[in-house]
Structure 1
Amino acid sequence: MVLLSLAFAAVLLISFMKGAFGGGFAIVGIPLLSLAMDPLQAGALLAPLFIAMDLCALVYWRPSTWSKPDLLVLLPGLAVGIGLGFLVLRFANPHFVAIAMAAVTLFFTGLWFTGGGLVQVSPRSLWKGAVAGTASGVTTMIAHSGGPPVAMYLLPLGLSKTLYAGTTSLFFTVGNALKAGPWLLVASPDWTLMALCLPACPLGVWLGWHFHARLDQRQLYRACYALLTVTALKLLWDGLRGYGLI
């Protein structure tokens, strides 16, 4: 019963984030599952559920909310990154990747907060988008945490709150569909637990969507940067713990 409660709460929280902010903040719910499950089992449980969440989210984040020029830059790198992340997960130690990504993200968010939280609009960059997409693919595969790289590319563009959320939602819809199969090769999920958690997907997305509608542009960016900081700290913790340093 404890496991079901934690799993349901984690899926509800992640679904809420998808409805409120688009994609990229799945890692905020994973610590709940880690209290009662092996991380690999948690990852395998969530991988198919992410697809259900994404389908629910696309009811709200429709094509008019997608920044198509940015998706054309990001998505090819995402596919490459997921393939690389699968190799890291199977044959290498992913802790270094987690620590490096955490350090870069904390530097990025630190600059924003120390700069007074202003949105500095920068021009698009093809190479930055390609790198961000690839890095996001790697980290979403090994830690369900692809948000930081793609956010570091998209947030400085100054997109509207709805365009930002819709773009990240579709980006991670594609990513989650691509990584579900590889994750099921890494570990076998508890299918009964997954079925019991499924109703949390539409409920969480619906709650998040209504929360999104109440946010103004500045509040959304502040929330996204705060969530990026939390995500980076969790990645840093996981990486250091993996090396036995904490």
Structure 2
Amino acid sequence: MELTAVTLIVAFAGVFLICFMKGAFGGGFAIVGIPILSLVMDPITAGGLLAPLFVAMDVYSLRYWKPSTWSRPDLFRLVPGLVLGIGVGFLLFRVLDHRAIAIVMAAVTLVFVGLWFRAGGEVKVQPRSSGKAVAAGITSGITTMVAHSGGPPLAIYLLPLGLSKQVYAGTTSMFFTVGNLLKAGPWLLLARPTGNVLSLTGVCLLAVPCGVWLGWRLHTRLDQRQMYRACYGLLVVTALKLLWDGISGYLG
């Protein structure tokens, strides 16, 4: 990968968008910024670039998503599955059909959002389920490891709980803080970034403070209903991106 001005600008823009999503919604929408990065690098290189940047975003975000914004009962249910899912994703990274995973995850997400809109687009609180939490954690772990798309499974579990916007974002942020710390090592082993990639990582670090802060500013301006509608809308965008990745992978 050549470190040209275009590469610097495009990569910085992609990382900035991911940071913005982290500040506004707690994370889980990294895949929204992946298309920008894919303009100048392959997916494996992007994974190696993002692995340490995710950790930097998470650490910086702790100044906004403090422990008071975490739903501990849900994290206790979700995190064990997340750990298992990341381990499975790493072990099977070379043999898993990423295209099929993307298509299935897109279909499930679109059905989930479609049912929400069909019900009137209102938050109807559902009881917690340890089984659903474990399934969401495992699925999120696998998809975040193989495709940086762990957001939809987590959102499918958390959104029906009707958490306050701060607790939803804080819980999401802490969940992915754990996940990104766990997958940083495996991704660095898979990508083995050197030279220009490491230099580009250093440049993109500058996007973290301003991106997260601007996202957090948006979060403070959204009311509860707007926050949930934005999350469901972003799930549609994420699902369509996953669907495109999966289908184009087969056609290509």
* TM-score normalised by the chain length of structure 2: 0.95
1:218 paired residue number: 225
Of 47, 72, 75 in structure 1, the residue corresponding to residue 79 of structure 2 is 75
Distance 1:50 1:234 in 2: 20
Distance 2:23 2:250 in 1: 35
1:141 paired residue number: 145
Residue 204 of structure 1 deviates from its aligned partner by 0.4
Of 209, 215, 219 in structure 2, the residue corresponding to residue 208 of structure 1 is 215
1:94 paired residue number: 98
2:204 paired residue number: 197
1:56 equivalent to 2:67? Answer: no
Residue 243 of structure 1 deviates from its aligned partner by 1.5
Residue 233 of structure 1 deviates from its aligned partner by 0.8
Residue 88 of structure 1 deviates from its aligned partner by 2.9
Compare 233-242 and 123-132 and name the one that shifted more: 233-242
| SS in structure 1 of the partner of residue 28 of structure 2 | coil
Residue 98 of structure 1 deviates from its aligned partner by 1.1
Distance 1:236 1:223 in 2: 20
Q: Deviations over 1:222-243 (max 9, x none)?
A: 0000001111111111111222
1:43 paired residue number: 47
2:38 paired residue number: 34
Residue 187 of structure 1 deviates from its aligned partner by 1.0
* Paired letter, 1:102: A
Of 230, 244, 247 in structure 2, the residue corresponding to residue 240 of structure 1 is 247
1:152 paired residue number: 156
Distance 1:15 1:162 in 2: 17
Distance 1:48 1:154 in 2: 26
* Paired letter, 1:232: A
Distance 1:11 1:166 in 2: 20
2:236 paired residue number: 229
Residue 160 of structure 1 deviates from its aligned partner by 0.2
* Paired letter, 1:239: G
Of 9, 12, 18 in structure 2, the residue corresponding to residue 8 of structure 1 is 12
Q: Deviations over 1:64-91 (max 9, x none)?
A: 0000000000000000000111123223
Compare 83-92 and 174-183 and name the one that shifted more: 83-92
1:122 equivalent to 2:126? Answer: yes
Residue 124 of structure 1 deviates from its aligned partner by 0.1
Of 187, 192, 196 in structure 1, the residue corresponding to residue 191 of structure 2 is 187
Count of paired positions = 245
Residue 114 of structure 1 deviates from its aligned partner by 2.2
Percent of pairs identical after alignment?
68
Q: Deviations over 1:128-185 (max 9, x none)?
A: 0000000000110011110000100000000000000000000000000000111111
* TM-score normalised by the chain length of structure 1: 0.98
Are the equivalent residues in 2 in contact too, given 1:88–1:94 (CA < 8 A)?
no
* Paired letter, 1:202: P
Residue 58 of structure 1 deviates from its aligned partner by 0.7
Residue 23 of structure 1 deviates from its aligned partner by 1.5
Compare 107-116 and 25-34 and name the one that shifted more: 107-116
* Paired letter, 1:133: G
Distance 1:128 1:236 in 2: 23
Are the equivalent residues in 2 in contact too, given 1:90–1:186 (CA < 8 A)?
no
Distance 1:199 1:54 in 2: 14
Distance 1:77 1:127 in 2: 10
